[in-house]
Copies of this chain bind each other. A is one copy, B any other.
Protein backbone atom coordinates (compact mmCIF):
# COMPACT_ATOMS: atom_id res chain seq x y z
CA UNK A 1 0.00 0.00 0.00
CA UNK A 2 1.07 3.55 -0.69
CA UNK A 3 0.29 6.35 1.71
CA UNK A 4 -1.42 8.91 -0.51
CA UNK A 5 -4.54 9.31 1.67
CA UNK A 6 -6.73 8.04 -1.11
CA UNK A 7 -5.80 10.85 -3.51
CA UNK A 8 -5.53 10.19 -7.22
CA UNK A 9 -1.88 10.69 -8.20
CA UNK A 10 -0.08 10.24 -11.50
CA UNK A 11 3.66 9.67 -11.54
CA UNK A 12 4.19 11.71 -14.64
CA UNK A 13 6.55 13.04 -17.25
CA UNK A 14 5.10 15.97 -19.16
CA UNK A 15 6.36 14.96 -22.63
CA UNK A 16 5.41 11.29 -22.36
CA UNK A 17 2.51 10.40 -24.67
CA UNK A 18 1.75 7.48 -22.36
CA UNK A 19 1.31 9.81 -19.37
CA UNK A 20 -0.87 12.06 -21.54
CA UNK A 21 -3.27 9.16 -22.16
CA UNK A 22 -3.85 8.72 -18.44
CA UNK A 23 -4.28 12.45 -17.77
CA UNK A 24 -6.71 12.83 -20.70
CA UNK A 25 -8.76 9.89 -19.41
CA UNK A 26 -8.90 11.33 -15.88
CA UNK A 27 -9.89 14.76 -17.21
CA UNK A 28 -12.57 13.25 -19.46
CA UNK A 29 -14.07 11.68 -16.36
CA UNK A 30 -13.79 14.86 -14.32
CA UNK A 31 -11.48 13.24 -11.76
CA UNK A 32 -9.29 15.56 -9.69
CA UNK A 33 -5.71 14.38 -9.51
CA UNK A 34 -2.19 15.42 -8.68
CA UNK A 35 0.83 14.84 -10.87
CA UNK A 36 4.35 14.16 -9.61
CA UNK A 37 6.91 14.99 -12.25
CA UNK A 38 9.58 12.28 -12.55
CA UNK A 39 13.18 12.77 -13.61
CA UNK A 40 13.47 9.82 -16.00
CA UNK A 41 17.26 9.82 -15.66
CA UNK A 42 16.99 9.68 -11.88
CA UNK A 43 13.77 7.91 -11.09
CA UNK A 44 12.17 8.33 -7.69
CA UNK A 45 12.16 5.58 -5.08
CA UNK A 46 8.39 5.71 -5.27
CA UNK A 47 8.32 4.97 -9.01
CA UNK A 48 10.78 2.07 -8.65
CA UNK A 49 8.74 0.68 -5.77
CA UNK A 50 5.35 1.01 -7.45
CA UNK A 51 6.32 -0.23 -10.90
CA UNK A 52 9.18 -2.65 -10.16
CA UNK A 53 8.61 -4.68 -13.33
CA UNK A 54 8.81 -1.95 -15.97
CA UNK A 55 10.09 1.01 -13.90
CA UNK A 56 8.17 3.34 -16.21
CA UNK A 57 5.79 6.26 -16.02
CA UNK A 58 2.89 6.67 -15.87
CA UNK A 59 1.91 5.06 -12.59
CA UNK A 60 -1.64 5.78 -11.50
CA UNK A 61 -2.24 5.70 -7.75
CA UNK A 62 -5.84 5.40 -6.62
CA UNK A 63 -7.05 4.49 -3.15
CA UNK A 64 -3.39 3.98 -2.26
CA UNK A 65 -2.97 1.25 -4.87
CA UNK A 66 -0.72 1.54 -7.95
CA UNK A 67 -1.69 0.66 -11.52
CA UNK A 68 0.86 0.47 -14.34
CA UNK A 69 0.66 0.57 -18.14
CA UNK A 70 -1.23 3.45 -19.70
CA UNK A 71 -3.87 1.55 -21.69
CA UNK A 72 -4.66 -0.58 -18.65
CA UNK A 73 -4.96 2.63 -16.63
CA UNK A 74 -7.37 4.09 -19.20
CA UNK A 75 -9.53 0.97 -18.92
CA UNK A 76 -9.31 1.12 -15.12
CA UNK A 77 -10.39 4.78 -15.15
CA UNK A 78 -13.26 3.89 -17.48
CA UNK A 79 -14.47 1.09 -15.21
CA UNK A 80 -14.02 3.06 -11.96
CA UNK A 81 -15.61 6.42 -12.78
CA UNK A 82 -18.76 5.34 -14.55
CA UNK A 83 -20.83 8.53 -14.20
CA UNK A 84 -19.28 10.07 -17.29
CA UNK A 85 -19.80 8.23 -20.58
CA UNK A 86 -17.62 5.22 -21.28
CA UNK A 87 -14.60 5.31 -23.59
CA UNK A 88 -15.53 1.86 -24.86
CA UNK A 89 -18.83 0.87 -26.51
CA UNK A 90 -21.06 -1.60 -24.64
CA UNK A 91 -21.42 -4.09 -27.50
CA UNK A 92 -18.69 -6.79 -27.22
CA UNK A 93 -17.93 -6.74 -30.95
CA UNK A 94 -17.60 -2.96 -31.06
CA UNK A 95 -15.45 -3.12 -27.92
CA UNK A 96 -13.17 -5.67 -29.59
CA UNK A 97 -12.83 -3.42 -32.64
CA UNK A 98 -11.88 -0.41 -30.49
CA UNK A 99 -9.34 -2.52 -28.59
CA UNK A 100 -7.92 -3.79 -31.88
CA UNK A 101 -7.28 -0.26 -33.18
CA UNK A 102 -5.91 1.00 -29.89
CA UNK A 103 -3.57 -1.99 -29.84
CA UNK A 104 -2.51 -1.32 -33.44
CA UNK A 105 -1.88 2.35 -32.64
CA UNK A 106 0.03 1.35 -29.50
CA UNK A 107 2.29 -1.04 -31.40
CA UNK A 108 2.99 1.14 -34.42
CA UNK A 109 2.76 4.80 -33.34
CA UNK A 110 4.98 4.55 -30.29
CA UNK A 111 7.90 6.27 -28.62
CA UNK A 112 10.15 3.70 -30.31
CA UNK A 113 8.71 4.20 -33.79
CA UNK A 114 9.10 7.97 -33.41
CA UNK A 115 12.66 7.49 -32.19
CA UNK A 116 13.50 5.82 -35.49
CA UNK A 117 12.88 9.26 -37.00
CA UNK A 118 14.26 11.71 -34.41
CA UNK A 119 16.92 9.30 -33.15
CA UNK A 120 18.65 9.03 -36.52
CA UNK A 121 20.46 11.55 -38.67
CA UNK A 122 19.20 12.03 -42.21
CA UNK A 123 19.81 8.85 -44.17
CA UNK A 124 18.55 5.36 -44.85
CA UNK A 125 17.54 4.44 -41.28
CA UNK A 126 15.57 7.64 -40.82
CA UNK A 127 13.88 7.18 -44.21
CA UNK A 128 12.83 3.65 -43.21
CA UNK A 129 11.53 5.01 -39.91
CA UNK A 130 9.49 7.71 -41.70
CA UNK A 131 8.10 5.23 -44.21
CA UNK A 132 6.91 2.78 -41.55
CA UNK A 133 5.51 5.52 -39.33
CA UNK A 134 3.52 7.02 -42.19
CA UNK A 135 2.34 3.63 -43.43
CA UNK A 136 0.91 2.87 -39.99
CA UNK A 137 -0.64 6.31 -39.74
CA UNK A 138 -2.27 5.78 -43.13
CA UNK A 139 -3.84 2.54 -41.92
CA UNK A 140 -5.25 4.52 -38.99
CA UNK A 141 -6.38 7.29 -41.32
CA UNK A 142 -8.31 4.74 -43.39
CA UNK A 143 -9.98 3.46 -40.21
CA UNK A 144 -10.85 7.02 -39.16
CA UNK A 145 -12.33 7.82 -42.57
CA UNK A 146 -14.79 10.68 -42.35
CA UNK A 147 -15.76 10.11 -38.74
CA UNK A 148 -15.37 12.94 -36.23
CA UNK A 149 -13.50 10.71 -33.80
CA UNK A 150 -12.29 7.12 -33.96
CA UNK A 151 -15.19 6.50 -31.58
CA UNK A 152 -17.61 7.96 -34.16
CA UNK A 153 -19.44 10.92 -32.66
CA UNK A 154 -17.90 10.03 -29.30
CA UNK A 155 -14.33 10.73 -28.22
CA UNK A 156 -13.40 7.19 -27.22
CA UNK A 157 -10.74 4.65 -26.34
CA UNK A 158 -8.77 4.82 -29.62
CA UNK A 159 -8.83 8.62 -29.51
CA UNK A 160 -7.40 8.63 -25.97
CA UNK A 161 -4.73 6.12 -27.00
CA UNK A 162 -3.57 7.95 -30.14
CA UNK A 163 -4.07 11.69 -29.67
CA UNK A 164 -1.02 12.23 -27.40
CA UNK A 165 1.23 11.35 -30.33
CA UNK A 166 -0.27 14.24 -32.29
CA UNK A 167 1.75 16.56 -30.01
CA UNK A 168 4.97 14.91 -31.29
CA UNK A 169 4.20 15.28 -35.02
CA UNK A 170 5.89 18.70 -35.29
CA UNK A 171 9.10 17.43 -33.69
CA UNK A 172 9.16 14.42 -36.02
CA UNK A 173 8.51 16.64 -39.03
CA UNK A 174 11.36 18.99 -38.07
CA UNK A 175 13.81 16.13 -37.47
CA UNK A 176 12.71 14.12 -40.51
CA UNK A 177 12.02 16.99 -42.92
CA UNK A 178 8.56 15.86 -43.98
CA UNK A 179 4.91 16.80 -43.51
CA UNK A 180 2.47 14.50 -41.74
CA UNK A 181 -0.38 16.66 -43.03
CA UNK A 182 0.67 16.15 -46.65
CA UNK A 183 0.51 12.38 -46.17
CA UNK A 184 -2.30 12.04 -43.64
CA UNK A 185 -4.53 15.13 -43.81
CA UNK A 186 -7.46 13.47 -42.06
CA UNK A 187 -5.33 12.43 -39.09
CA UNK A 188 -3.99 15.96 -38.68
CA UNK A 189 -7.52 17.41 -38.99
CA UNK A 190 -8.67 14.90 -36.35
CA UNK A 191 -5.81 15.95 -34.02
CA UNK A 192 -6.81 19.60 -34.38
CA UNK A 193 -10.44 18.64 -33.74
CA UNK A 194 -9.47 16.82 -30.54
CA UNK A 195 -7.54 19.83 -29.22
CA UNK A 196 -10.31 22.28 -30.19
CA UNK A 197 -13.22 20.12 -29.09
CA UNK A 198 -12.03 18.36 -25.94
CA UNK A 199 -10.92 20.35 -22.91
CA UNK A 200 -9.22 17.19 -21.62
CA UNK A 201 -6.91 17.14 -24.64
CA UNK A 202 -6.29 20.89 -24.69
CA UNK A 203 -5.35 20.81 -21.00
CA UNK A 204 -3.00 17.86 -21.45
CA UNK A 205 -1.10 18.17 -24.73
CA UNK A 206 2.05 20.29 -24.49
CA UNK A 207 2.96 22.89 -27.10
CA UNK A 208 4.55 21.34 -30.21
CA UNK A 209 7.53 23.68 -29.95
CA UNK A 210 8.18 22.58 -26.37
CA UNK A 211 8.11 18.92 -27.42
CA UNK A 212 10.52 19.76 -30.24
CA UNK A 213 12.95 21.39 -27.80
CA UNK A 214 12.72 18.26 -25.62
CA UNK A 215 13.43 16.07 -28.64
CA UNK A 216 16.50 18.19 -29.44
CA UNK A 217 17.71 17.47 -25.89
CA UNK A 218 17.07 13.77 -26.44
CA UNK A 219 19.06 13.91 -29.66
CA UNK A 220 21.99 15.34 -27.71
CA UNK A 221 21.66 12.71 -24.97
CA UNK A 222 21.55 9.91 -27.55
CA UNK A 223 24.41 11.45 -29.52
CA UNK A 224 22.47 12.05 -32.72
CA UNK A 225 23.79 15.56 -33.33
| Chain A residues proximal to chain B, CB less than 8 Å | 53, 62-63, 65, 67-69, 72-73, 75-76, 79-80, 92-93, 95-96, 99-100, 103-104, 139
Given A53-B139, A139-B53, also A76-B103 (CB < 8 A): no
Interface majority SS (helix, strand, loop, mixed), chain A: helix
A149 to chain B, nearest CB (A): 20
Partner of A75, one of B63, B72, B76, B99: B99
- Chain B residue with Cβ nearest A98: B72
Inter-chain contact A72/B100, CB cutoff 8 Å: yes
Partner of A76, one of B62, B79, B96: B96
The 3 closest A-B pairs by CB, nearest first: A79-B92, A76-B96, A72-B99
6 contacts between A and B (CB under 8 A): A53-B104, A65-B93, A67-B93, A69-B103, A72-B103, A75-B96
A92 to chain B, nearest CB (A): 4
A7 to chain B, nearest CB (A): 16
- Chain B residue with Cβ nearest A97: B67
Partner of A100, one of B63, B68, B95: B68
In whole angstroms, what is the CA distance A53 to B99 when docked?
14
In whole angstroms, what is the CA distance A62 to B53 when docked?
36
In whole angstroms, what is the CA distance A99 to B72 when docked?
7
Inter-chain contact A92/B104, CB cutoff 8 Å: no
In whole angstroms, what is the CA distance A97 to B75 when docked?
12
In whole angstroms, what is the CA distance A46 to B71 when docked?
31
Provide the residues of chain B in CB contact with A103, threshold 8 Å: 69, 72
A70 to chain B, nearest CB (A): 11
In whole angstroms, what is the CA distance A63 to B63 when docked?
41
A183 to chain B, nearest CB (A): 18
Inter-chain contact A73/B96, CB cutoff 8 Å: yes
